[in-house]
Each structure stands twice: as C-alpha cells, then as structure tokens.
C-alpha cells in the first residue's frame, strides 16, 4: 500500500505502520467490512498472489485434512485397543482354567502367536518349577539377571531395541531374528520371570509405544504363576 501522496484525490499519504497497528487493535474490522476482503491480495509461497478469501479457504482445507488424518489415526488406535481387549479377555478366561505352568504357557503362546501374530515369544521363569514343566528357567542367583535389574525396579514393560545379551537370554538361538521387542517383567511379591515378545520388523515395538496391554498381560501372568515358581 503506497505511502506517497495520492495526487488524484488529494488525500494525505497513509502510514502503513499505523494501518497495520489499527487492524491489529481492531481484529473485527473485516467482520464489519467483509467486502474489503475480496479486493485484498495475499502473496503465495510460490510468488503468486491470491485473494485473502482464497487464502483463508486454502488454510481451512489444509486444517481439515490434518484433522481428518488425526481422526483416522485415533479410530485406528481405538480399533486396535478394542481388539487387544478382546484377546486379553479370552486369555484371562483361559488362565482361570489353567491347572499347571504348562497350561499357562500354552495359553500365552496361543494368545501372542496366534491372536496377536507375534513373530517370537520368549519366556524365562526365575527359580524352580516343580512337576516336570517344560518351562525355561533361570536360577535366582544367576548373574545374567543383573542386566534386568532396572526393569524389575521400575516394574513396567520396555519396548524398542533390546541389548543383544538380553535377547539371547529370552530368545536363545532365535535372538538374531529379533530387530525390535517388548520386554515384560513378571512380578508378584518377587520377580517371577521375564517375557519377551520379538518382531522381525524394526519398528514393530518402539520406545514410545503404549504399554497398558503389556502391563495387564504381565499382571495376569504373575497371578497365574503365583505358587508355581519358587
């Protein structure tokens, strides 16, 4: 907007800074004078000029697309949570009927491998399991457990890329296939075990993933294994 004197109409030159200040202090000006918007031109990033109305419409369309993408993400999360809740419910019912550690392990593998499509499942119980169970165990005084001390202290699952030594303990010879994993501590009054859920996809389990389902899973296992591990 020119600050030079308008010789045609004889008006005094207008100060752009004063105009900008006035508009900033009177944000409803264009509500009262909507017809002015049709004549304003706003520069595009590409250098082209568009009317302010077109610019605002483009901005609204972009915001609408962002809201739509966010809504789709939330719907996907809601469907996943509903699916996980159903699997957890079925797993809970199976644990109620479990009579031995092997029954618990069978239900666990069925839930994770069949229902949740886990690539690899590794479980190590800490201590002794009487009755000739097929469960993999590790003595309570084994130095290898020192690497999991922080996990047991925090008492909550960890997701992401685990150290190779931890993967070896959980998955044995299949550890090299795991590129991301979830680690679930199983704790009652004392640590009872460690559950590893491994994936061949590097982004399947990330450090920023929610762990509500995994915490519930760990609590269910702890309650089911109570009295079977010493």
CATH, residue 185: 3.30.450.40
Which residues face 137 on adjacent strands? Answer: 125
Domain hosting residue 27, numbered range = 14-97
Highest mean pLDDT out of 89-93, 126-130, 165-169:
165-169
Backbone angles phi and psi of 127, in degrees to 5: 115, -150
Report whether 196 contacts 190 (CB < 8 A).
no
Q: How many domains does the chain have?
A: 2
Question: Are residues 120 and 191 both part of a single domain?
Answer: yes
Examine the fold and report which residue of 65, 97, 129 is the final residue of a domain before the chain moves on.
Answer: 97
- Per-residue pLDDT of 45-66, as tens digits, reads 555 555 666 767 777 788 888 8
Examine the fold and report which residue of 63, 97, 131 is the final residue of a domain before the chain moves on.
Answer: 97
| d(C-alpha 88, C-alpha 67), whole Å | 31
Question: Are residues 108 and 54 both part of a single domain?
Answer: no
**Mean of all residue pLDDT scores within the chain:** 82
Nearest to 158 by CA among 124, 184, 191: 184
Report whether 151 contacts 181 (CB < 8 A).
no
Structure tokens at 140: 């309570």
pLDDT over threshold 80, residue 77: no
- Per-residue pLDDT of 102-122, as tens digits, reads 898 888 988 888 767 889 999
Would you state the pLDDT for residue 86? 81
| d(C-alpha 60, C-alpha 40), whole Å | 18
Classify the phi-psi angles of 53: left when phi > 0, otherwise alpha if psi is within -120 to 50, otherwise beta.
alpha
């Amino acid at each position: 907007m020119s600050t030079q004197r308008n010789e045609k109409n004889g008006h005094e030159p207008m100060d752009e800074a004063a105009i900008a200040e006035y508009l900033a202090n009177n944000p409803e000006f264009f509500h009262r004078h909507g017809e002015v918007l049709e004549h304003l031109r706003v520069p595009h990033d590409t250098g082209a000029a568009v009317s302010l109305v077109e610019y605002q419409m483009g901005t609204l369309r972009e915001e609408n697309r962002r809201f739509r993408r966010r809504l789709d993400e939330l719907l996907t999360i809601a469907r996943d949570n509903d699916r996980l809740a159903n699997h957890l419910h079925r797993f809970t019912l199976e644990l109620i009927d479990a009579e031995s550690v092997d029954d618990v392990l069978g239900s666990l593998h069925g839930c994770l491998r069949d229902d949740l499509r886990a690539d690899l499942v590794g479980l190590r119980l800490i201590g002794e399991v009487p009755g000739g169970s097929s469960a993999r165990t590790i003595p309570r005084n084994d130095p290898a457990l020192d690497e999991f001390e922080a996990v047991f202290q925090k008492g909550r699952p960890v997701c992401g890329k685990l150290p190779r030594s931890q993967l070896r303990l959980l998955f044995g010879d299949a550890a090299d296939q795991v590129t991301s994993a979830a680690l679930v501590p199983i704790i009652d009054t004392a640590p009872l075990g460690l559950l590893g859920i491994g994936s061949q996809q590097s982004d399947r389990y990330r450090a920023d993933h929610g762990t509500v389902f995994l915490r519930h899973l760990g609590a269910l296992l702890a309650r089911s294994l109570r009295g079977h591990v010493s």
